[in-house]
């Protein structure tokens, strides 16, 4: 009996190990490659801890591939495609073990005491929340800068790093630097620069970065180095590797590095005991809130370099260092009211208006409440004092209510039963916790949202903003998307402060938008669940709007990334005669509704006479991509030769193809760059 129980438990544990490994790998990808984590560091650390414990209990599950055994990789899936060469690290670039528990620091101390008879000290430093960098200086000049990559191989970002003002290109002459050495540290973005960047991104309709770390990591991988100097990145260095110099301690080494002109943190402290370390941690847990940049913990390092060497490394981190991580900062503030926002697809999102409060360097006035279930779980009342925390997303979240501060007369926040904009009873999707307003054709917020989506940069790229749509809509000039193309100068002249120049700019932009390829028009229609990639897939597979309209469920489902929900949504959309009429009007206005037309139109012949070889995995199937190329006049080549014009390299495109292309001087472009080419737009990078 016991054996059966044990076997079942073991089977479950092994399954859980597999699940955790998959989840953690996917979180690593979101964090290190996409710079867009979907969970907080704390949530990630809990999963990692669970995996470590299970692997300890079931050593037979060991795998060198487990996320417990290797550092999360920031390598762009294909170095060449992304514009960065990859380069091997001279010494592996590892991560740090971490804890949220002071008691574990005593255990860390205990392990070290077992390894030595001699006395030792620690150096405590801030844990900068940015992205790791490894710099090599040769004869006083910055020779190379590599990201951590997968710890063995990093992306060569030297060009970009040269644009960061605090990193010297040349060290101080005569300061005694070694002929060749490596120094590692963190590139980070101070809060001021982060706010400025996000403000600009919002104006440009680019998605804002959720936090300064993502912004720093994303900026470091920009393909155009010229943009870097404006991003306000900074650097602090914390690990010198200079074997030819016989430094005794880490503090001595860093002091020397500072004297060569390198940026080294001024906030570190040598400590003699864990109690001293605890005091340093306590001090910084509050002081960090006054720093102009983000820190997420304290790094504790054995100071004596000979002891560091004898302690060595595990597969993933040094045994001579660990990080004590601060719990995410939270702030207590008053909930003033709740807005129920209606999105363009009718989804209702509750957003809390808060008494402004300082949190991790920025003032927070709003926080997400996600949906009715979340509100119910929090048991939120108007006027409550609530804790807010910054998670993986851009808008902070409310984590809990301070029940002790609730007034007896406080009224429970009720999720509305009707649309706050048009009054239609809301419906709830069975598999989603979200509530929707089903009145998509008449609900004013949804209608305005549709126009805002249609004119957005990724769709029709029409030169207008939300305020213009607001006015055009409230004046009754636009009801259907097609009404945009019927606007007259006389009508536009009635808009607030609009003069001849703004009118002609807007009309020109409308005219230019007619040249947009079919997939952009399709995306712009705002059919629920059709994102940018799905629009490309559908355009590639069906070729034109008529075939798409006539497609049955089966045909739709046979398209890549089209599932039941999307198929229903597409069929529902085209079953509405008002939509068909509107599409006909857009067609008569001159918008492009077929790939064929793209190809015939002046913009689309850009690939005529060109031979393209495709390699790797793309957002659409290879067949669809080939069709796309052919429909734009291009020829598909089977192998790279000197007659090839472009190699379109997707993910996992083979190294040998890349090398051959480079050898023969064939231009390597990404899938997105192919679309730029077919739209006659300049490429971002030339390889
Ligand atoms: S020492 C082998 N010191 O935190 C030495 N790392 O979560 C490892 N970090 O990968 C690095 N501040 O990117 C060190 N003062 C500091 C640090 C620091 C931030 C980063 C570093 C590391 C990560 C681990």
pLDDT in tens, 318-342: 999 999 999 888 899 999 999 999 9
CA distances from 253 to 132, 172, 318 (A): 19, 16, 18
Residues in contact with 72: Cβ distance below 8 Å, sequence separation at least 6, in sequence order: 28, 31, 32, 95
Model confidence band, residue 4 (pLDDT cutoffs 50, 70, 90): low
Mean pLDDT to the nearest integer, 291-302? 95
User: What pLDDT was estimated at residue 361?
Assistant: 75
In the predicted model, what is the mean pLDDT of the chain? Answer: 89
Question: Which of 40-49, 199-208, 336-345, 422-431 is predicted least confidently?
Answer: 199-208
Pocket test for ligand 1, best of 127, 145, 188, 270 (most atoms within 8 A of CB): 127
Evaluate: CB of 299 within 6 angstroms of ligand 1.
Answer: yes
Q: pLDDT by residue (tens digit) across 25-67?
A: 989 988 888 887 878 888 899 999 999 999 999 999 999 889 9
Cα torsion 549, 550, 554, 560: sign: negative
Q: How confident is the model at residue 136 (pLDDT cuts 50, 70, 90)?
A: very high
Q: Compute the distance from residue 254 Cα to the ligand 1 centre, in Å.
A: 14
321 Cβ inside 6 Å of ligand 1: yes
Q: Tokens 């370099």 — which residue? A: 305
Question: Given a cut of 70, is residue 392 above it in pLDDT?
Answer: no
Q: From its phi and psi, is residue 151 left (phi > 0), alpha (psi between -120 and 50) or beta?
A: left
Going by CA atoms, what residue is nearest to atom 12 of ligand 1?
127
Tell me if 138 sits within 8 A of 145, measured CB to CB: no
Whether the CB of 384 sits within 6 Å of ligand 1: no
pLDDT tens-digit map of 224-233: 888 899 999 9
Distance 288 CA to ligand 1 centre (A): 17
- The predicted pLDDT at position 8 comes to 64
Between CA 511 and CA 591 the distance in angstroms is: 9
- Strand order of the sheet with strand 635-636? 635-636, 611-615, 646-649, 667-669
In short, whether 127's Cβ falls inside 6 Å of ligand 1 is yes
More confident residue, 186 or 9: 186
| 148 C-alpha to ligand 1 centroid (Å) | 11
Q: How far is CA 475 from the centre of its chain?
A: 38
- Using DSSP, how many helices (H) and how many strands (E) does the chain show? 25, 22
pLDDT confidence tier of residue 603, bands split at 50, 70 and 90: very low
Does any ligand 1 atom lie closer than 6 A to the CB of residue 262? Answer: no
Q: How far is the CA of 84 from the centre of ligand 1 (A)?
A: 23
Q: Is the CB of 97 under 6 A from ligand 1?
A: no
Structure tokens at 261: 């002109």
Q: Please tell me the residue having the least CA distance from ligand 1 atom 17.
A: 127
**What mean pLDDT do residues 373-388 have?**
94
Domains of the chain, earliest start first = 2-61 (1.10.287.610), 86-325 (3.30.470.30), 331-432 (2.40.50.140), 444-597 (1.10.150.20), 604-686 (3.40.50.10190)
Q: What is the pLDDT of residue 465?
A: 86
Return the pLDDT at 686: 35
Q: In this predicted structure, what is the pLDDT of residue 633?
A: 78
Nearest Cα residue to atom 9 of ligand 1: 127
Q: What are phi and psi of 244, to 5 degrees?
A: -75, -10
Asked whether 453 lines ligand 1 (CB < 6 A), one says no
Active site amino acids? 127
Say which residue, 278 or 664, is predicted with more confidence.
278
- Tell whether the model's pLDDT for residue 116 goes beyond 90: yes
**Distance in angstroms (rounded) separating the CA atoms of residues 566 and 553:** 10
Q: How many CA atoms lie within 13 A of 461 on its CB side?
A: 12
**pLDDT for residue 687 is more than 50:** no
* Index of the ligand 1 atom closest to the CA of residue 125: 15
Q: Which two tokens stand for residue 293?
A: 């940049």
Whether 398 lines ligand 1, by a CB cut-off of 6 Å, is no
Q: Is the pLDDT of residue 618 over 70?
A: yes
Main-chain phi, psi angles of 564, to 5 degrees: -55, -45
The ligand 1 atom nearest the CA atom of 318: 2
Ligand 1 centre and the CA of 552: distance in Å?
55
User: Which tokens hold the place of 489?
Assistant: 């100068």
Distance 195 CA to ligand 1 centre (A): 24
Distance in angstroms (rounded) separating the CA atoms of residues 24 and 37: 11
Structure-model confidence comparison of residues 329 and 258, the more confident one: 258
Decide the pairing of beta strands 347-359 and 435-436.
antiparallel
Beta bridge partners of 463: none
For residue 46, the 8-state DSSP code is H
pLDDT at 605: 63
Assess whether the C-beta atom of 186 lies below 6 angstroms from ligand 1: yes
C-alpha of residue 201 to centroid of ligand 1, in Å:
29
Q: Confirm or reject: Cβ of 625 under 6 Å from ligand 1.
A: no
pLDDT at 395 over 60: yes
């Amino acid at each position: 009996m016991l054996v059966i129980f044990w076997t079942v438990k073991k089977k479950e544990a092994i399954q859980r190990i597999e699940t955790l490994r998959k989840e953690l790998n996917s979180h690593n990808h979101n964090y290190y490659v996409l710079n867009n984590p979907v969970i907080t560091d704390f949530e990630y650390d809990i999963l990692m801890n669970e995996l470590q414990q299970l692997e300890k209990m079931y050593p037979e599950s060991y795998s060198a591939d487990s996320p417990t055994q290797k550092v999360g990789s920031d390598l762009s899936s294909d170095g060449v495609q992304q514009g960065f060469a990859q380069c091997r690290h001279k010494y592996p670039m590892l991560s740090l073990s971490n804890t949220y528990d002071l008691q574990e620091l005593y255990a860390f101390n205990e392990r070290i005491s077992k390894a030595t008879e001699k006395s030792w000290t620690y150096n405590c430093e801030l844990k900068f929340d940015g992205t790791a960098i490894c710099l090599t200086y040769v004869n006083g000049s910055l020779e190379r800068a590599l990201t951590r990559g997968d710890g063995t191989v990093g992306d060569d970002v030297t060009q970009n790093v040269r644009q960061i003002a605090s990193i010297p290109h040349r060290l101080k002459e005569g300061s005694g630097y070694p002929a060749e050495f490596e120094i590692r540290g963190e590139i980070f973005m101070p809060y001021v620069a982060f706010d400025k960047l996000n403000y600009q991104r919002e104006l440009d309709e680019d998605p804002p970065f959720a936090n300064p770390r993502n912004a720093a990591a994303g900026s470091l991988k920009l393909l155009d180095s010229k943009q870097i100097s404006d991003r306000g990145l900074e650097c602090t260095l914390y690990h010198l590797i200079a074997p030819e110099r016989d430094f005794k301690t880490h503090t001595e080494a860093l002091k020397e590095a500072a004297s060569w002109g390198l940026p080294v943190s001024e906030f570190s402290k040598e400590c003699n005991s864990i109690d001293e370390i605890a005091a340093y941690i306590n001090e910084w847990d509050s002081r960090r809130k006054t720093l102009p940049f983000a820190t997420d913990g304290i790094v504790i390092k054995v100071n004596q370099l000979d002891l560091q060497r004898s302690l060595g490394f595990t597969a993933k981190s040094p045994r001579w260092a660990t990080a004590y991580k601060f719990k995410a900062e939270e702030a207590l503030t008053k909930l003033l009211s709740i807005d129920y926002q209606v999105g363009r697809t009718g989804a209702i999102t509750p957003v809390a208006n808060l008494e402004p409060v300082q949190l991790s360097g920025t003032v927070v006035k709003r926080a997400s409440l996600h949906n009715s279930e979340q509100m119910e779980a929090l048991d939120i009342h108007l006027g409550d004092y609530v804790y807010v925390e910054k998670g993986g997303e851009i808008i902070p979240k409310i984590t809990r209510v301070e029940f002790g501060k609730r007034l007896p007369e406080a009224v429970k926040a009720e999720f509305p039963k009707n649309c706050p904009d048009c009054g239609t009873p809301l419906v709830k999707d069975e598999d989603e916790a979200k509530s929707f307003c089903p009145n998509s054709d008449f609900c004013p917020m949804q209608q305005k949202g549709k126009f805002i989506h249609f004119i957005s940069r990724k769709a029709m790229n029409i030169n207008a903003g939300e305020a213009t749509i607001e006015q055009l809509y409230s004046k009754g000039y636009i009801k259907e998307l097609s009404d945009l193309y019927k606007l007259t100068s006389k009508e536009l002249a009635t808009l607030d402060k609009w003069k001849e120049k703004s009118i002609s700019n807007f009309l020109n932009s409308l005219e230019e938008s007619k040249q947009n390829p079919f997939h952009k028009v399709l995306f712009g229609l705002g059919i629920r669940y059709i994102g940018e990639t799905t629009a490309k897939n559908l355009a590639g597979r069906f070729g034109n709007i008529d075939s798409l309209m006539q497609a049955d469920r089966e045909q739709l489902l046979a398209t890549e990334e089209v599932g039941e929900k999307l198929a229903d949504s597409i069929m529902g959309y085209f079953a509405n005669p008002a939509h068909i009429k509107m599409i006909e009007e857009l067609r008569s206005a001159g918008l492009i509704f077929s790939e064929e037309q793209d190809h015939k139109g002046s913009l689309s012949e850009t690939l005529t006479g060109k031979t393209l070889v495709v390699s790797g995995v793309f957002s659409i199937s290879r067949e669809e991509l080939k069709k796309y190329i052919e429909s734009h006049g291009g020829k598909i080549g089977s192998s790279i030769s000197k007659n090839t014009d472009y190699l379109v390299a997707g993910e996992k495109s083979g190294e040998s193809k890349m090398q051959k292309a480079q050898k023969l001087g064939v231009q390597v472009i990404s899938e997105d760059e192919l679309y730029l080419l077919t739209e006659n737009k300049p490429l971002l990078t030339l390889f």
